Structure 1
Amino acid sequence: MCGIVGLFLKKTELRPRLGDMLTDMLVTMTDRGPDSAGIAIYGDEVDGLKITVQSDTPAEDFATLEAEFGGAGRTVRVVDTHAVLTVPRAEAADVAARLEARGLRIMGAGASMEIFKEVGRPEEVAARFGIRAMGGSHGIGHTRMATESAVTTLGAHPFSTGDDQCLVHNGSLSNHNQMRRKLAGKGVFTRTENDTEVGAAYISSRIAEGATLGEALEGTLRDLDGFFTFVTGTRTGFGVVRDPIACKPAVMAETEDYVAFASEYRAFADLPGIGAARVWEPEPATVYFWER
């Protein structure tokens, strides 16, 4: 079943409240799938790349991160079971390989994006990572009811397969294994069995090939089979697309200050100015996206 939320802020003054607003929205969706949850926050950009990693044994695994990866042009910030390493872009591939060699799981990387996800209810996950205190321009979140893979941190959403790009998904893809092989032939590989990661990889590969966010989302309607609602984030954008059948619930709201997405309207209840918002159900097979 799963619950999705997304928030794209047009008003700069609201950015310090992004994490708080997004957390309230996600917690409201808890009963759509309480086994795991995650949020991607697009915050302040760095001159380099932020790599978010996760460990099941952070006390042990993160103890030497600062000594090994800190220094000139690098920072290490530990956040519960996750750590965010900021490194020069030219060194990012080497650092990522070394982190994975140590058994750390890379959640995502980007100039502005940080991803935090874990097993547990949304309220608990958000509290562990201090999401309410995080600011930014936009973010997406997901609370999961596992139906196609195990309840694990790696199975939780959002999924990221490209710099500053991530995806949350409600539904099921029927051709994800076929698409996984096609992507592998292009040198794009996934780490989990989750079909959502294939959707993320498809979108990021299209963008890497030069497609716009809108064009990448339009491609999902042609190349991905099944029923799905996708909400995706990029460094500058936020997009939504539903399959042609559109059997999964979805609603959007827009004011002069923000654009919001949720699986149910009740997630909007505490948003400022929601009473005056334009509220609608996104049309099937129609791409919606906003960029700053």
Structure 2
Amino acid sequence: MCGIVGLFLKKDELRPRLGDMLTDMLITMTDRGPDSAGIAIYGDAADGLKFTVQSDDPAAFDGLAEALETTLGVSIPVTLKDTHAVLLVPTEKEAAAIEALEARDLRIMGIGEAMEIFKEVGLPKDVAERFGLREMGGSHGIGHTRMATESAVTTLGAHPFSTAEDQCLVHNGSLSNHNDMRRRLAKKGVFTKTENDTEVGAAYISSRIAEGATLGEALEGTLKDLDGFFTFVTGTKTGFGVVRDPIACKPAVMAETDDYVAFASEYRAFADLPGIDTARVWEPEPATVYFWER
């Protein structure tokens, strides 16, 4: 049992409030998954790539900017956020930056022009406070509260999972063929780093998009190629999508107004959203893809 939230803003006036609204939604879902939490925020596109990296040891960030400047030959702005840091890397330096960061045993949570990912072990309210999520603005975001049932309670086991630039996924449910899909993806040169089945789902969707599929087509593919029960909420640089398996045994609800589209595992997560009293509210249909793009 886990809790998922997502918010896609249609109007720019609400962008400064994205983190605040998502945080309230996430905290409301705490009793669905109190062991860890995470959130992906899509903010203004950077002139380059935002690397979100994590370390359990705060000392790992000491001298990081200087070391990267020496290795990459350019200045790399580093913004610390508790156990995470956000680096701004020139696009042409991406491969060299990945190599340098892995050499320092820093975990890369996500890479993208617009996306930043923050996740840690702990209650959603504590995780949100540690990273200052309420102060973050953007166009859309997704979040997850986890109750670990098939893998350890770790930072790497928390959602969202990202396997491609500006793409990430949160998941409620369990995939039964994730090991087979992991092998199939590996044959295509797509590799996962954890044992979590959600990362396999993320890798499947990103690989389909890399092959030329649209977000909607990639989500439709999950219904054919992934077995098990699942609710997926995914984010891309320009979009936000939802799909449930054909049985749809995991709870889900959506709300839409002229200002936003919202997703949550339970309606109570919508309680403080502006205009929710006049929103169109519905339960997403099984085996049906919903997505919105800018």
Question: Taking structure 1 as the reference length, what is the TM-score of the superposition?
Answer: 0.99
| Counterpart residue number, 1:51 | 51
CA distance, structure 2, for counterparts of residue 211 and residue 272 of structure 1: 34
The structure 2 residue matched to 1:252, chosen from 251, 254, 257, is: 254
CA distance, structure 1, for counterparts of residue 13 and residue 83 of structure 2: 30
| Counterpart residue number, 2:13 | 13
| Counterpart residue number, 1:282 | 284
Q: 1:66-113: CA deviations, max 9, x gaps?
A: 112257463111110001111111111110111011111110100000
Query: Are 2:265 and 1:266 aligned?
Result: no
Unpaired segments ≥5 residues, structure 2: none
SS at match of 1:178: helix
SS at match of 1:149: coil
Shift of 1:5: 0.1
Aligned partners of 1:69 and 1:76 also within 8 Å = no
SS at match of 1:168: strand
The structure 2 residue matched to 1:238, chosen from 228, 237, 240, is: 240
CA distance, structure 2, for counterparts of residue 232 and residue 259 of structure 1: 13
The structure 1 residue matched to 2:216, chosen from 214, 217, 225, is: 214
What is the number of equivalent residue pairs in this alignment? 291
The letter of the residue matching 2:35 is D
SS at match of 2:27: helix
Kindly, what percent of the aligned residue pairs are identical? 82
Q: 1:136-155: CA deviations, max 9, x gaps?
A: 00000000000110000000
SS at match of 1:142: strand
CA distance, structure 2, for counterparts of residue 73 and residue 270 of structure 1: 42
SS at match of 1:172: strand
Give 4+ residue runs of structure 1 displaced > 4 Å after superposition.
70-73
Computed over aligned residues only, the root mean square deviation of the Cα atoms, in angstroms, reads: 0.8
CA distance, structure 2, for counterparts of residue 73 and residue 243 of structure 1: 46
CA distance, structure 2, for counterparts of residue 283 and residue 85 of structure 1: 39
| Counterpart residue number, 1:127 | 129
CA distance, structure 2, for counterparts of residue 291 and residue 258 of structure 1: 12
CA distance, structure 2, for counterparts of residue 202 and residue 49 of structure 1: 22
| Counterpart residue number, 1:111 | 113
Aligned partners of 2:65 and 2:76 also within 8 Å = no
| Counterpart residue number, 2:103 | 101
Aligned partners of 2:68 and 2:100 also within 8 Å = no
Q: 1:31-67: CA deviations, max 9, x gaps?
A: 0010000000001111111111100002x10011111
Query: Are 2:40 and 1:40 aligned?
Result: yes
SS at match of 1:38: strand
Unpaired segments ≥5 residues, structure 1: none
Query: Are 2:64 and 1:62 aligned?
Result: no
| Counterpart residue number, 2:207 | 205
The letter of the residue matching 2:107 is R
CA distance, structure 1, for counterparts of residue 235 and residue 43 of structure 2: 12
CA distance, structure 2, for counterparts of residue 141 and residue 288 of structure 1: 17
CA distance, structure 2, for counterparts of residue 57 and residue 73 of structure 1: 23
Aligned partners of 1:50 and 1:84 also within 8 Å = yes
CA distance, structure 1, for counterparts of residue 86 and residue 258 of structure 2: 33
The letter of the residue matching 1:47 is D
Q: Which moved more, 1:26-35 or 1:94-103?
A: 94-103
| Counterpart residue number, 2:27 | 27
CA distance, structure 1, for counterparts of residue 91 and residue 124 of structure 2: 32
The letter of the residue matching 1:32 is R
Aligned partners of 1:73 and 1:88 also within 8 Å = no
Shift of 1:18: 0.2
CA distance, structure 1, for counterparts of residue 78 and residue 36 of structure 2: 25
Q: Which moved more, 1:94-103 or 1:245-254?
A: 94-103
| Counterpart residue number, 2:163 | 161
